[in-house]
Structures are given as structure tokens and as C-alpha cells.
Amino acid sequence: MKRDLKPYILDVWKTFKFYGYRRIAAYSQQTDGPKVSEYMTLKLMHELGIKSRMQKRYRKPKTVVTVDQKPNLIRHLHDLSGVWQTDITYIQLTNHRWVYLATVLDPEKRKVLGYKIGDTMTAELAKSALQMALDKHRKPLIIHSDMGSQYTSAEFNIKCQNYGLKHSYSLKGHP
């Protein structure tokens, strides 16, 4: 049975190279040929080493800001002394796990002042990186971040207030 289906699927694929397993299975249901399920079609296409030439187009996810836009205090500053910037970066490890690197940097000196790596992207991760920078360097006047949930959290903002830092924001995803 399975042996009989391979030539049929290969023939349909050669005729319609843009068909994937779902369309080939649907085509088999609508024609006089053998009826093949999606799962069996996928399995046989894999065994034959064939796939659709049509690829799904990548669609960048839209950034949705659920909190009100906060002030951008550094937009028109020409002198960035007394300003620190902070952000979180995703890093994929060789074992396909993800870790997150929170950094605090001085844009004037182009130097990383504090950092923290963690398994989860939390306000605690962002606070730890800020604390490392505050412990080792003179505190700034302004801390600038994007509007990620870690930086708009009450936890992070209380930390900034405790040190007398003004918090400046750019749009979420645009530090």
C-alpha cells in the first residue's frame, strides 16, 4: 500500500511543485487517485526527500505597547554624560537553550558597566545588572531603557527612585 502511494505523491509533486503535504493530501481527496491523509503524505514526502518550493513568508511580529508611552529624556540631549542605557539581549546556546543578558552601559564611554545573565527575562535580572553598575561606578542622573515589561515594572522603577535616578524610555523594542 505504502509503496503504491510514493509514485502517486511524487507524480503530484512533480506536477504541482508548490504544493505542500496539505495540498497534496487535499488533491488526493478530490481526484480519482488514492486517498492519502495529511500525515501519510507528510511522512512519504519526507521519505522521498521532497518538499514544497513555496516557503511561508516571515512576518515580523508587531510591537504592541500596552502601557502609556513614558518620556524620552535623552532624545534631544547632545551630552550623554550622566546617562546610562540598559537593555536585554537573547542568546541561544549550542544546546538550543536560550539565556538572557541584561546590560547597563555608558553610551559616552561605550563601556559595559554592569551585566547579569539569567534563564528568565525578569525585572530581577534587569535590577541585578543595574545594581552591579551602581556598586562599581558613580551613579548617573538618567537611566534609559526601552519599554519592556522588565523596565516598566514597579520593582525596577522603585530601584531607580531609591537611587534618585530619572527613568527615560524609548519605544518598546527600540532602545
For residue range 86-111, list pLDDT tens digits in order: 999 999 999 989 999 999 999 999 99
| Helices within the chain (DSSP H only) | 2-15, 21-30, 38-48, 123-136, 149-152, 154-162
pLDDT of residue 3: 76
**How many CB atoms within 10 Å of residue 42?**
17
* Residue 64 half-sphere exposure toward CB, CA atoms < 13 A: 2
pLDDT of residue 30: 93
Task: Assess contact for 136 and 115: CB atoms under 8 A.
Answer: no
Burial (0-12, 13-18, 19+ Cβ within 10 Å), 50: middle
Q: Kindly give the interhelix angle for 154-162 and 123-136, rounded to the nearest 10 degrees.
A: 20
For residue range 108-161, list pLDDT tens digits in order: 999 999 999 999 999 999 999 999 999 999 999 999 999 888 999 999 999 999
End-to-end Cα separation, the chain, in angstroms: 59
* Residue 66's pLDDT band (cuts 50, 70, 90): low
Name the β-bridge partners of 84.
143
Is it the case that residue 35 has pLDDT exceeding 60?
Answer: yes
**pTM (2 d.p.):** 0.61
How does the average pLDDT of the chain come out, rounded?
89
φ, ψ of residue 84 in degrees (nearest 5): -120, 150
